[in-house]
A and B are shown apart, each in its own frame.
Chain A
Amino acid sequence: MSTTDGHLEALTKVVLNNLENQHDWTRLQTHAQPNLPRQLIYGLPPKRLYVHPDEQIEMIKAEKDRKEPIPQAPELEWVLPLHLAEKWSLSQFAAVFDAMDAAPPGSSAPEILGPDDPDAQWKLWRGAKRGKRLLLATVQDDSTVTYYWMFDGLVKPRQN
């Protein structure tokens, strides 16, 4: 068992290194929980990675009123390191989703300034309405790391 643990650690290290140095993530942390099958990584990407389509609509509405683009500050994101040779089942992924929180620890939602805040609607998407999502980081032995979004449950498809 020690070998597998060592390899999971090595895998996490590979992904951490890749995120930090190739993709310029910051505030990278590993996150372990007893009910999690393996360590998760969370960190701050250099730019915002995912915008929910409904949030986009709210933002566009808010932008119309304020006449300037709303800054899209990056959010902390979950990362699940995987190896290409692994075979994962849906139940394993479901276990991960059940164990994790929607937002990584330390992530701050933009505060809503009273009930009359015109930006309240889209701000909700970065706080209360944020669904569970994580990035699958698939490592291949030639050092390629491929990232895929994975969501908990059905999610409205993004406008392309």
Chain B
Amino acid sequence: MKMAEPTTIIMTQDTNNDLSEPDIAAASTAPSTNDLPSAPAASGALAAPSSQPPSVPRVSIHKLYALPAPIRTFPLPTFYPSNPLSLFHLVYVWMKHMIFPPAAEPSVVHEGVWDPSTRSVHITDPKSIRALWEQGFFGKGSLSRSEPNWLKREISRRGTVQGLTVSEQHTEARREERRLAKWERAKTELEVIERQRLVESVESNGETTTDIIPTAFEEAAKLNGEQEAILKSFKDAAESDAESSPELVPNGVKPDAEAEAVVEPAKDIIPDEHEQAVESTPEPRAVTVDTAVAASAAAVVESPAVEDTTESSAEHHVEKRPLEEAIWPVDEPKDKRPRLEESPVDLTFNAEVPKDFIFDSESPKEEVFGVEPLVPAVVSNGYIYEAKAPVGPAELLALPNSYADLASLSSVVQATEPEVLEEIVEPDTASSQDTIAIAPLEQAKPPVGPAELLALPNSLADLMLKIVSVAKAVEQVDDVEILPNVSRSPVGPAELLALPNSMADLLSRAPAAEVASEPSKAEVDHPSPEPSPVSPHFNSHAEKSSTDLTQQNGAVNGINAHGTEASVFTHGGNGINGADVNDIKLNGVDGVNGGSLSSVSSLPSTNGSAEARPVLKSPQPIQRRKSVRFSPRVVSNTFQHFDPPSPSRSTKSPPTVVNQETNGIAIETPSAVPTVLFPTAAKPASPEISTPASLEGLPTIIPESSTASVENVVVPSPKVATLSPEPSPESLVATTAESSSLDIAELPDKEHFQLAPEEAFFLSFALGALSVLDPVTRAPMPNDQLLTLFRANSYFPPKATDSAMAGLQPSDPFLVQYAVYHHFRSLGWVPRHGIKFGVDFILYQRGPVFDHSEFGVIIMPSFSHPLWKEYEHEAPRKSWSWLMGVNRVLAHVLKGLVLVYVDIPPPSVFDEMVRDGGIAAALKKFTIREVMVRRFSVNRNR
């Protein structure tokens, strides 16, 4: 009795893969055999689509493919000298194996049939197929890349089981995508070639055409990917700005020849004066001015220019024009418009001046006295260059230097777009244009000077604040000051001190900024010390009227820095050093401007908030809106082979136009969303429903079962379709649908599982896990007969097997290949045939499921034995170009090339060994040498 019970246990262990013996199985078997019984079940469910329960969890591939070969081992547990219990465990397991030995491995012997037509061994039992595939990746589906999934592919193509795809489909889709991309590329390249031909023909004719050549160059530049992106963004920016202020571009395009890094002189200004201004930059005097101003983000070069320009002519010129402009920034934009109409100054100028003015005139004198640097300031923003291609040195320098730069630029551009596109009726579009144009001005200015470099945002928090401020700037059109102020990066000690010390700090600032009312917001948004008593001080300024404010402003600005410093110093109780106060002063001035502007502007706040919403999304990339086309006529569509199998998954396919004329209403449906439109259009009673023309292309996707919702909707019911007045196409569709659905039910599996001769012989001879049956007699073939068969069939046409091994040699391709296969298999590699890569074998470290193969193996038969001189043999003749080609191909797919030299024993030795020791002894005479080949590229291997 006691004997009987454990034996049954062992029996179940065999069939059930060790699960019935919990303690010992866990300890004694290979570590991860436990989950194997569930694996075939899961795969079986995959093979049979009807019984696929969605609730079955996916088995990890590491568990599924745990066994490297279709045999199991039962190792003894490890003995730890420090742990005496492990000794008992070991003794227990050993005793158990002695008394109740596990069944001899391989416990399962699979059956295969030799197929002479394909010269290989076919496996028909699905259990064996799964076992051989999962335990060592033997064999291949005859109609698949490796794992047999032809049936799966067919089912998924017919579209009955949702979400069932095979990798071949992904490959197909990817290739088609690639083909289209190549077609597009060929198109553009052809265009360039034609243009070049045109240019050359024109040149040969001796004419000088100015307009063709640049376009050709532009086209050539377009091919360059990165440059194209940059150019495009620039052009977008320019266009969007051109929308808001159409005359901007003509104004902006006036780069001078001797243009310095950033400062682009206006044409009105005398150039030498400007040069002088720039030359003065490195001087210490200018530097002192800079320190007073340095905190602001605007160009350095301009502020010294303010001091240097004392020429009367310059002032003269300035007084004419910019004096009135100098008032603008303080003015309300509404005031601007009437003035615009009467004055000859164009809109561009109007749009540009205020912010530039505010940006660049950190020194307050400019505002009041209208010193001419205003005019260069207008032009000097990096934004204006963008209207044309960057060909000069200054323009090149003015290109955006960083991605953040570009992003901010585009975000601002986008900020303008929603307003324009959605046509939100704003009471004052001009004002919004103003603010919107500010941002590019400030942000698109490339950091070429030292101060700009310092003024770059140092941290993410900085950048975030900037973004918030951009949003705010649009929300309240007129607190222009926020922008330069907030984006000012911490270069002075005070700003450094004023940086948010903690996240909480930052958070407390942000809501404060949002909650604050209009005038106070200008102050709250400053990153510089906002809790200081300066802000209330300037708040009081802000509440005054506009004209007053200009006066006030002038007064405040007129006082030189020391005066303000002093006043602020008395206010600010927290001991601040001089530089700090400088900054506060500047902030204060800005605050005044902002406050005044906002107080005067009287913007309806609701409108402002409405505008703010699209702008807040500005850091995100531009979102294209869906465009829906409506066409009155029926459009048919043919489906390509690479199209997704079923309409439910066809979201990525080009929209199929399904046109339905019901009740005189033409409804056009993209195929991705037929569910939405059909239920409304197709009332069940209406008999005039005609099946959409496009459906004729894919009759197979329409099942008669009502499980798949989408197909169900597309054709409400087959009966309706047949009822419809136009009989021929619909009935055809319906019948084919029925027949195809019938096909799915009993779709014959045309694929068979095929073992190459090397694999079959390894399984049969080395592991014993396979018995190969004769196709006629169905009798298992012994190994030596199998070997003869395989050797004879490794030639094409195959040699005769019955004539007493006539013509068979130890250099038979099969023997050589098998020696290599056996060698790598026994070393733990997974070799598979590699004709796809032009090699004999490819080596996987664990298997094709886990990773790509690492090496390609090329077998080089070597007749190095001295006795081979007596026999006729054909040594491999491979050329260097062949080796280069193979190496190139393998390097392209990231595989190493291994040349495997097989020393073949001469026939006399081989036959003797076969006679004495059998196949194993004979195979031992083959020796294997591996040589790894790697291309040495001098440049890459330094």
Chain A residues engaging chain B, CB cutoff 8 angstroms: 3-4, 7, 10, 13-14, 17-18, 21-22, 24, 46-47, 56-57, 60-61, 63, 83-86, 138, 140-144, 146, 159-160
- Would A144 and B796 be within 8 Å (CB), given that A21-B750, A24-B641, A60-B187 are in contact? no
- Would A21 and B756 be within 8 Å (CB), given that A86-B796, A141-B120, A146-B836 are in contact? no
- Tell whether B55 is near chain A: CB-to-CB under 8 Å: no
The 7 A-B residue pairs with the shortest CB-CB distance, nearest first, are: A10-B117, A142-B756, A4-B797, A46-B641, A85-B796, A143-B142, A22-B143
Q: Are B140 and A84 in contact (CB under 8 A)?
A: no
In the bound complex, residues from chain A placing their C-beta under 8 Å from that of B798 are 3, 7
Q: How far is the CA of A65 from the CA of B787 in the complex (A)?
A: 65
Q: How far is the CA of A122 from the CA of B501 in the complex (A)?
A: 70
Determine the residue in chain B with the shortest Cβ distance to A82: B796
8 A Cβ contacts from B317-339 to A: none
Q: Are B190 and A141 in contact (CB under 8 A)?
A: no
Q: Are A141 and B756 in contact (CB under 8 A)?
A: yes
In the bound complex, residues from chain A placing their C-beta under 8 Å from that of B800 are 3
- Would A85 and B794 be within 8 Å (CB), given that A13-B117, A21-B150 are in contact? yes
In the bound complex, residues from chain B placing their C-beta under 8 Å from that of A138 are 835
In the bound complex, residues from chain B placing their C-beta under 8 Å from that of A57 are 190
- Would A143 and B836 be within 8 Å (CB), given that A21-B750, A85-B794 are in contact? no
Q: Are B835 and A146 in contact (CB under 8 A)?
A: yes
In the bound complex, residues from chain A placing their C-beta under 8 Å from that of B189 are 159
Q: How far is the CA of A85 from the CA of B150 in the complex (A)?
A: 27
Q: State the Cβ distance, A8 to closest chain B Cβ, in Å.
A: 8
In the bound complex, residues from chain B placing their C-beta under 8 Å from that of A13 are 117
Q: How far is the CA of A18 from the CA of B190 in the complex (A)?
A: 38
Give chain B's interface residue range (CB within 8 Å of chain A).
35 or more
Additional pairs, 13, CB under 8 Å, beyond known A17-B142, A21-B150:
A7-B796, A7-B797, A10-B118, A13-B117, A18-B143, A56-B186, A140-B756, A141-B119, A142-B120, A142-B754, A143-B120, A143-B141, A144-B835
Q: State the Cβ distance, A114 to closest chain B Cβ, in Å.
A: 26
In the bound complex, residues from chain A placing their C-beta under 8 Å from that of B472 are none
- Would A47 and B640 be within 8 Å (CB), given that A4-B797, A159-B182 are in contact? yes
In the bound complex, residues from chain B placing their C-beta under 8 Å from that of A144 are 140, 833, 835-836
- Would A14 and B118 be within 8 Å (CB), given that A21-B751, A141-B756 are in contact? yes
Could you write out 16 A-B pairs with CB less than 8 Å apart?
A: A3-B798, A3-B800, A7-B797, A10-B118, A14-B118, A17-B142, A17-B143, A18-B142, A22-B150, A60-B186, A83-B796, A86-B796, A142-B120, A142-B755, A144-B833, A144-B836
Q: Are B757 and A22 in contact (CB under 8 A)?
A: no
Q: How far is the CA of A102 from the CA of B119 in the complex (A)?
A: 33
Q: How far is the CA of A154 from the CA of B434 in the complex (A)?
A: 65
- Would A21 and B143 be within 8 Å (CB), given that A7-B798, A143-B120, A144-B833 are in contact? yes
- Would A85 and B187 be within 8 Å (CB), given that A10-B118, A47-B642, A143-B140 are in contact? no
- Tell whether B662 is near chain A: CB-to-CB under 8 Å: no
Contact with A along B186-203 (1 / 0, CB 8 A): 110110000000000000
Q: How far is the CA of A99 from the CA of B756 in the complex (A)?
A: 34
Chain B residues engaging chain A, CB cutoff 8 angstroms: 116-120, 139-144, 150, 182-183, 186-187, 189-190, 640-642, 750-751, 754-757, 759, 793-798, 800, 813, 832-833, 835-836
Q: How far is the CA of A84 from the CA of B836 in the complex (A)?
A: 12
Q: How far is the CA of A3 from the CA of B117 in the complex (A)?
A: 11
In the bound complex, residues from chain B placing their C-beta under 8 Å from that of A140 are 756, 833, 835
Q: Are A143 and B754 in contact (CB under 8 A)?
A: yes
Q: State the Cβ distance, A29 to closest chain B Cβ, in Å.
A: 19
Q: How far is the CA of A13 from the CA of B117 in the complex (A)?
A: 9
Q: Are B118 and A143 in contact (CB under 8 A)?
A: yes
Q: State the Cβ distance, A101 to closest chain B Cβ, in Å.
A: 26
Q: Are A60 and B190 in contact (CB under 8 A)?
A: yes
Q: State the Cβ distance, A55 to closest chain B Cβ, in Å.
A: 11
In the bound complex, residues from chain B placing their C-beta under 8 Å from that of A61 are 190
In the bound complex, residues from chain B placing their C-beta under 8 Å from that of A141 are 118-120, 756-757, 793, 833
Q: State the Cβ distance, B752 to closest chain A Cβ, in Å.
A: 8
Q: How far is the CA of A9 from the CA of B120 in the complex (A)?
A: 16
Q: How far is the CA of A159 from the CA of B183 in the complex (A)?
A: 10
Q: How far is the CA of A10 from the CA of B262 in the complex (A)?
A: 78
In the bound complex, residues from chain B placing their C-beta under 8 Å from that of A17 are 142-143, 750
In the bound complex, residues from chain A placing their C-beta under 8 Å from that of B190 are 57, 60-61
**Residue from the set B116, B140, B143 with the largest chain A CB neighbour count within 10 Å:** B143
In the bound complex, residues from chain A placing their C-beta under 8 Å from that of B755 are 142
Q: How far is the CA of A22 from the CA of B148 in the complex (A)?
A: 11
In the bound complex, residues from chain A placing their C-beta under 8 Å from that of B186 are 56, 60, 159
Determine the residue in chain A with the shortest Cβ distance to B817: A141
Q: Are B835 and A84 in contact (CB under 8 A)?
A: yes
Q: State the Cβ distance, B141 to closest chain A Cβ, in Å.
A: 8
Q: State the Cβ distance, B748 to closest chain A Cβ, in Å.
A: 11
Q: State the Cβ distance, A13 to closest chain B Cβ, in Å.
A: 7
In the bound complex, residues from chain B placing their C-beta under 8 Å from that of A47 are 640-642
Q: How far is the CA of A60 from the CA of B599 in the complex (A)?
A: 61
- Would A14 and B117 be within 8 Å (CB), given that A85-B813, A140-B835 are in contact? yes
In the bound complex, residues from chain B placing their C-beta under 8 Å from that of A46 are 641
Q: How far is the CA of A3 from the CA of B393 in the complex (A)?
A: 79
Q: Are A85 and B795 in contact (CB under 8 A)?
A: yes
Determine the residue in chain A with the shortest Cβ distance to B117: A10
Q: State the Cβ distance, B169 to closest chain A Cβ, in Å.
A: 12
In the bound complex, residues from chain B placing their C-beta under 8 Å from that of A4 are 797
Q: Are A22 and B144 in contact (CB under 8 A)?
A: yes
Q: Are B797 and A3 in contact (CB under 8 A)?
A: yes
In the bound complex, residues from chain B placing their C-beta under 8 Å from that of A18 are 142-143
Q: State the Cβ distance, A1 to closest chain B Cβ, in Å.
A: 9
Q: How far is the CA of A77 from the CA of B395 in the complex (A)?
A: 56
Q: State the Cβ distance, A91 to closest chain B Cβ, in Å.
A: 18
In the bound complex, residues from chain B placing their C-beta under 8 Å from that of A146 are 835-836
Q: How far is the CA of A72 from the CA of B554 in the complex (A)?
A: 74
In the bound complex, residues from chain A placing their C-beta under 8 Å from that of B836 are 144, 146
Q: State the Cβ distance, B771 to closest chain A Cβ, in Å.
A: 19
In the bound complex, residues from chain A placing their C-beta under 8 Å from that of B642 are 47
Q: State the Cβ distance, A17 to closest chain B Cβ, in Å.
A: 8
Q: How far is the CA of A4 from the CA of B797 in the complex (A)?
A: 5
In the bound complex, residues from chain A placing their C-beta under 8 Å from that of B794 are 85
- Would A142 and B833 be within 8 Å (CB), given that A47-B640, A86-B796 are in contact? yes
In the bound complex, residues from chain A placing their C-beta under 8 Å from that of B835 are 84, 138, 140, 144, 146
Q: How far is the CA of A44 from the CA of B189 in the complex (A)?
A: 31
Q: How far is the CA of A10 from the CA of B116 in the complex (A)?
A: 9
Q: How far is the CA of A42 from the CA of B800 in the complex (A)?
A: 31
Q: How far is the CA of A22 from the CA of B187 in the complex (A)?
A: 32
In the bound complex, residues from chain A placing their C-beta under 8 Å from that of B795 are 85
Q: Are A142 and B140 in contact (CB under 8 A)?
A: yes
Q: State the Cβ distance, A68 to closest chain B Cβ, in Å.
A: 12
Q: State the Cβ distance, B319 to closest chain A Cβ, in Å.
A: 58
Q: State the Cβ distance, A94 to closest chain B Cβ, in Å.
A: 21
Q: State the Cβ distance, A119 to closest chain B Cβ, in Å.
A: 17
Q: How far is the CA of A10 from the CA of B120 in the complex (A)?
A: 12
Determine the residue in chain B with the shortest Cβ distance to A63: B187
Q: How far is the CA of A85 from the CA of B813 in the complex (A)?
A: 9
Q: State the Cβ distance, A5 to closest chain B Cβ, in Å.
A: 9
In the bound complex, residues from chain A placing their C-beta under 8 Å from that of B139 are 142
In the bound complex, residues from chain A placing their C-beta under 8 Å from that of B144 are 22
Determine the residue in chain B with the shortest Cβ distance to A18: B143
In the bound complex, residues from chain A placing their C-beta under 8 Å from that of B759 are 142
Q: State the Cβ distance, A44 to closest chain B Cβ, in Å.
A: 11
Q: How far is the CA of A17 from the CA of B144 in the complex (A)?
A: 12
In the bound complex, residues from chain B placing their C-beta under 8 Å from that of A22 are 143-144, 150
